[in-house]
């Protein structure tokens, strides 16, 4: 009787405050059964339309017809490379904050690979390729936030041929990330996640084993292997079908990048790869429809960066482009120039991509003026025809560099990990073979403009041309899931929901 009276009093009080009785009932937060994140390595945005007439029904055409397409999605930092891109998509922030300052950068004064971890060993391999983890990423990502929101009942699995493309999207608290080891011909992981491969992974590797050192990454077979492993993870872990929780499957297709570096953005190899990707996506969507339910999963597709056209292709068609000119010899040539200028060969510590690391301790011991050293280095680098700007990072705010470039350099600079001096090549100028292949890392649209399409659970069809930043993706997914943004997120949700 007392409980009935108490409930009546509470109801009366709520009505008096204008609170609906419906809100008094504890309702479960509605979420999809599964989130599927797809990152296509080096996919240019314009490929969506270049190949549109050749796409099959049910693949990328389905994304464009049934999904919501953000046609003007851009990376907002430098350098636009694989590790930084995957980390930024999933953390909602840039290298300045998440710390993945490139595929390779300096950590504690030493060169390091982005996901190297000497405290772990490989599982499924004895090769050093297994000594990997997400520990170098300094913030959480959307998968971590999903795990937190569900008290770690949600499952998160990352799958890719490249280690960094599986590990960084899956996040710190993932149940597993699986990447490919050529030496064993199968997918592996590390002791960061587990001590032994699950039975389903062992069975997959046995059935799909490749020959050691088989060069299939550059072929459509690499796409097929990735899709098959993703579906095996979907079934092996029963993702989207356990405990009424939302699970997350993070997939990255790496073969598109390997192909682009060798063959460029035009030609039969490129055509073959992207038309094969289209069919792989159709197969994946069909499996998701049958296992999870057509409107029960939320899916997004984007890229970790895009890619420029080959310089010879451009020049043959009377378009500007070329090579920066230093061809991986910049460190040696700078060291020689600094010895002639200052009498020391220890001034240049390292050159990685478009970043120059100075040996600050050596400069101090030699009693040299740091500002004079920086000026001398910049003057020397500007001698290369393909270089447009070179500037000490701590002078960016006062340097005569256009704001869009300056801001991207700032958003990509991570203290104690990035170099002291940044190089900005001329548009369409790269440090790679002139005759064939391409690369990426620039501020320009050909490297920053990537697809972003949402499809599935609670997503209507449509598109927008308004500008969006890659950091908005994680904010958008977290808003749709009603979970907190990642710890370093600077993005803004793109949908009103």
Predicted pLDDT of residue 93: 98
Answer yes or no: is pLDDT of 350 > 80: yes
Residue 383: which pLDDT band, with cuts at 50, 70 and 90?
very high
pLDDT in tens, 288-309: 999 999 999 999 999 999 999 9
Beta strands in 60-129 (DSSP E): 68-70, 73-74, 104-107, 110-113, 122-123
Contact 366, 392 (CB under 8 A): no
pLDDT in tens, 91-150: 999 999 999 999 999 998 899 999 999 999 999 999 999 999 999 999 999 999 999 999
Predicted pLDDT of residue 243: 77
Answer yes or no: is pLDDT of 1 > 70: no
Q: What is the mean pLDDT of residues 438-447?
A: 96
Residue 497: which pLDDT band, with cuts at 50, 70 and 90?
low
The sign of the dihedral angle between the CA atoms of 72, 77, 81, 86 is negative
Predicted pLDDT of residue 2: 43
- 371 burial level (CB within 10 Å; 0-12, 13-18, 19+): exposed
Distances (CA, A) of 240 to 245, 293, 299, 406: 7, 10, 13, 43
Residue 212: which pLDDT band, with cuts at 50, 70 and 90?
confident
CB under 8 Å to 350, separation ≥6 — which residues? Answer: 106, 111, 331, 356, 357, 419
- 314 burial level (CB within 10 Å; 0-12, 13-18, 19+): middle
Q: Provide the token pair at 388.
A: 């447009």
In the chain, % of residues over pLDDT 90: 89
Give the pTM.
0.93
Whole-angstrom Cα distance, residue 223 to residue 201? 18
Answer yes or no: is pLDDT of 11 > 50: no
Predicted pLDDT of residue 186: 96
Whole-angstrom Cα distance, residue 165 to residue 159? 8
Predicted pLDDT of residue 188: 98
Predicted pLDDT of residue 300: 98
Whole-angstrom Cα distance, residue 35 to residue 29? 15
Answer yes or no: is pLDDT of 434 > 90: no
Q: What is the mean pLDDT of residues 372-377?
A: 97
Contact 93, 491 (CB under 8 A): yes
Could you tell me how many residues make up the chain? 497
Q: What is the mean pLDDT of residues 54-80?
A: 98
CA dihedral of 400, 405, 411, 417, whole degrees rounded to 10: -80
Predicted pLDDT of residue 17: 44
Answer yes or no: is pLDDT of 239 > 50: yes
CB under 8 Å to 147, separation ≥6 — which residues? Answer: 154, 156, 171, 173, 174
* Catalytic status, residue 82: yes
Answer yes or no: is pLDDT of 23 > 90: no
Task: Dump the DSSP string for 260-322.
Answer: HHHH-SSSHHHHHHHHHHHHHHHHHHHHHHHHT-TTTEEEEEE-S---PPPHHHHHHTT---E
Predicted pLDDT of residue 436: 87
Query: Which residue has 């292997």 as its token pair?
Result: 225
Residue 154: which pLDDT band, with cuts at 50, 70 and 90?
very high
Contact 145, 93 (CB under 8 A): no
Best CA proximity match to 115, nearest among 139, 85, 141, 135: 135
In the chain, % of residues over pLDDT 70: 94
Q: Provide the token pair at 249.
A: 């499957």
Name the DSSP class of 463: E
Answer yes or no: is pLDDT of 12 > 60: no
pLDDT in tens, 221-236: 999 999 999 999 999 9
Predicted pLDDT of residue 15: 46
Q: Check 80, 82, 471, 476 and give the catalytic one.
A: 82
Q: What is the mean pLDDT of residues 252-276?
A: 97
- 46 burial level (CB within 10 Å; 0-12, 13-18, 19+): middle
Answer yes or no: is pLDDT of 26 > 50: no
Q: What is the mean pLDDT of the chain?
A: 93
């Amino acid at each position: 009787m007392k409980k009935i009276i108490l409930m009546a009093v509470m109801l009366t009080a709520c009505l008096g405050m204008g609170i609906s009785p419906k809100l008094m009932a504890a309702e479960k937060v509605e979420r999809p059964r599964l989130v599927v994140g797809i990152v296509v390595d080096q996919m240019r945005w314009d490929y969506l339309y270049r190949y549109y007439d050749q796409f099959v029904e049910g693949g990328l055409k389905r994304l464009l017809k049934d999904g919501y397409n953000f046609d003007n999605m851009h990376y907002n930092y430098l350098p636009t490379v694989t590790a930084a891109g995957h980390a930024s998509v999933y953390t909602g922030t840039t290298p300045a904050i998440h710390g993945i300052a490139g595929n390779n950068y300096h950590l504690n004064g030493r060169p390091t690979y982005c996901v190297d971890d000497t405290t772990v060993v490989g599982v499924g391999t004895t090769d050093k390729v297994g000594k990997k983890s997400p520990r170098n990423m300094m913030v959480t990502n959307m998968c971590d936030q999903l795990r937190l929101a569900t008290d770690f009942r949600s499952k998160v699995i990352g799958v890719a041929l490249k280690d960094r493309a599986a590990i960084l999207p899956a996040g710190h608290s993932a149940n597993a990330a699986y990447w490919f080891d050529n030496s064993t011909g199968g997918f592996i992981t590390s002791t960061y996640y587990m001590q032994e491969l699950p039975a389903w992974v062992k069975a997959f590797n046995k059935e799909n084993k490749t020959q050691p050192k088989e060069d299939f990454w550059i072929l459509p077979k690499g796409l097929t292997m990735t899709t098959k492993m993703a579906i095996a993870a979907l079934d092996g872990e029963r993702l989207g079908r356990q405990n009424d929780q939302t699970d997350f499957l993070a997939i990255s297709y790496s073969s598109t990048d390997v192909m682009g570096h060798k063959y460029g953005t035009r030609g039969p190899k490129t055509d073959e790869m992207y038309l094969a990707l289209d069919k792989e996506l159709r197969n994946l969507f069909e499996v998701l429809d049958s296992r999870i339910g057509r409107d029960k999963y939320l899916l997004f597709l984007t890229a970790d960066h895009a890619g420029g056209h080959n310089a010879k292709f451009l020049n043959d068609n009377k378009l500007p482009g070329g090579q920066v000119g230093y061809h991986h010899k910049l460190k040696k040539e700078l060291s020689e120039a600094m010895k002639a200028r200052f009498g020391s060969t220890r001034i240049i510590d390292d050159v990685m991509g478009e970043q120059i690391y100075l040996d600050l301790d050596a400069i101090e011991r030699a009693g040299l003026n740091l500002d004079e050293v920086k000026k001398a280095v910049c003057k020397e680098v500007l001698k290369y025809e393909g270089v447009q700007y070179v500037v000490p990072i701590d002078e960016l705010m006062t340097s005569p560099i256009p704001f869009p470039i300056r801001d991207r350099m700032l958003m990509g600079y991570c203290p104690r990990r990035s170099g002291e001096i940044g190089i900005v090549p001329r548009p369409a100028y790269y440090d790679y073979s002139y005759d064939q292949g391409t690369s990426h890392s620039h501020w320009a649209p050909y490297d920053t403009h990537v697809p972003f399409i949402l499809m599935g659970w609670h997503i209507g069809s449509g598109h927008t041309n308004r500008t969006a930043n890659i950091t908005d993706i994680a904010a958008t997914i977290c808003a749709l899931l009603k979970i907190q943004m990642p710890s370093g997120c600077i993005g803004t949700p793109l949908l009103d929901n």
